[in-house]
Structure 1
Amino acid sequence: MLLKAKLAFAKFDVPAVTEGVKVVDSSGTELDDDVFEEIVKDPSTGVLTIKYYTESVSKVASPELSQSSSLDSSDSQDTVIISDSPSRKRQRLDTEAKQEHYYDGESGTGYLAWRIKTIQRSTAKARRALFGASAKGPSGKDISGGPTVRRESQYVPETALSEDQYKEVLSLMKHSADEGTVQKKMELTFVYCRNLVLDSLKSSNILSDFPRFKDVKGLVEQDFVLMFGEGVSGKLLERWPTIFKNKIVQQCRNLPSTSELEELLMAADPPKDGTEVDFDFGWDSDLSSVLLLLHLIPPTAQGRKRPGKVSASQTEKHLVVFKKTGTNIQEHLDAITTSTQPCVLAVGVKKNAIHQFFIILDKNAIPCRATSSLGAFDELFKAHFVFGTSYNTMLHNMYMFIQTTVYNIDVGKVKESPRVAEVRARLLH
């Protein structure tokens, strides 16, 4: 006896029959063994019919309905009626439509109408796959935005290059000693670069295909501007000192006191009464105010760890790392044992006297054009979008605040934690 028939008899308490048995859906299509068990467990499954030929049969209703029994000496079929799911209904309607005449103008049915609907469904699925849009609607907002999704860029090339032309430009760019030429060629290959970044099979080689990111400053900023425009690109440097910095400091003064928090508050907002303070222990004012966000918006715990297990000070190293002047950068890169999301490497005589910043990505050092800590953080955030890299799990909530509240990127398209929404309400109202 067929496996699906055995499962059907056991599931719905139908008397077992060993020969001449098949299970079909509402469209008359026989179900395969490998899909029957999964389908029958689905509460939204449509009509399933057990057909067999025997002298004695019993008609059994679904568990949700009353059961009755009768004898019949002819062909019999036991029907299990649960409910008509959208997918089953669509399949049934598609089958019926294909069997109708070409087109009925009064009812709007027929093969032509069925074919148009089929094309529309296929086109919608392809569009969602191409642009990374969520098929879940409001409940799936977290995958319809952020640094890893495909999006329409502000930059539109005047002419489309062929594959051979791209290769020619890439070759010229790799060997050019003129930074202006490199920047122009990077703009020409922007679309090509974006396609590589968003290709999961090729994205890991992006710095090999575009090595000039590692020696020409400003290319991260340039690509971000091509994606979002100058207005969006300048929001953090424009708004942080005037809107967010002081308010974040004030909000953090209301948090439970810790030594790390007090040090950051002292560095972010030094006394204005002329009191001398030794700042050798901490970062400068701007970066300290950014790090205060890790206290205001607690780090996201990983795995089974509870939020309290991950402190803001422990998470800091995933955002910025300090090395003294004279450190061999290559030795530092070689010592990295795991591939992580981007972070800032700050090199200087002390934390509040940095003379060079790098973005560390996949054991590569990308020099920052910025000479200030806030500018370096600005480039760090943008690097996620330029290289299509997801946020560090523990820093996710903080980055989401920066993305939606400071840069106003993908507002309403991504899922935010209640804490992010709460902090935004406090700072902007």
Structure 2
Amino acid sequence: LEETILVQKPGGEHIINEYNRTKSLEDETRRKLVNILTADMTEKNGTSPPRQVKEKYARGIVALFPYLSDPFSKNGYEHYYDGESGTGYLAWRIKTIQRGLAKERRASFEGQGTSAEAGSGGPTVRRQSEFNPETTLSEDECKEAIAFMSHSSDEDAIKKKMKLTFDYRRNMILDPMQSSDVLTVFPRFKDIKGLIEQDFILMFGEGVSGKLLEKWTTAFKKKVIQQCKKLPSTSDLEELLLAAETSTGDSDECVNIGWDSDLSSIILLLHLIPPSAQGWKRPGKVSASQAEKHLVVFKK
């Protein structure tokens, strides 16, 4: 397999000739070998090829070039790919490809280059809020307002209190020790309509708050679906793609899947998040399908 691939690719015959001549490969030639084989692997199996595929290519390398095997490893090919640790030349090259594709996706969504500024952001970034409250509550007053909201049934009063406690809540989100408790401290997010939107408007202003939804169906949604169709197929991914491409009139199909068309396309973003450079063994990492199960559904 490897010999067939190399013969068909530019520079492949040079690699074979160098090995036949010296029974080894220079570092630069070895990198070319890895680049050619990973390009072929990802072209045929997607950017996240299964472990057995990577092992197959690693075995093929030492079968074609026996002097490149490692006599001190169990199988002789672990320096090209070690399935136990997820490391090796092939694995590292694939991670580089994945990071490059992730940058391209970000650039395509933003319509800009791949500068660090274009990709920066997130809920923990400190921004200047658009909201300037007339009254600033002390910490004790914030706690009193929180206690009031927990037991009140007056939605208008709760919305006013949520406005007054916006800065307190924002500081919680920016604090890694408290950010996971936001829904516990402010549980009314889950049962009163419009509170999420209100916070978003307070943070970014009226002009920004409507842009995402305005552009989602006309600009972003189609791109997300196109990118996800290039990913390795899974049953969860196929279900979301089916729902995302279902018209709003086909409500029965959406009900069977659990999400409507627009929300399905937003959830597809989870599948576009690139794997960690440290691999799946990094503690705390979950798959896109597992992450979907942790979503909180808010009332609009």
TM-score (norm 1): 0.34
More helix by share: 2
Greater fraction of residues in strand: 1
TM-score (norm 2): 0.46
Q: Which has the larger radius of gyration?
A: 1
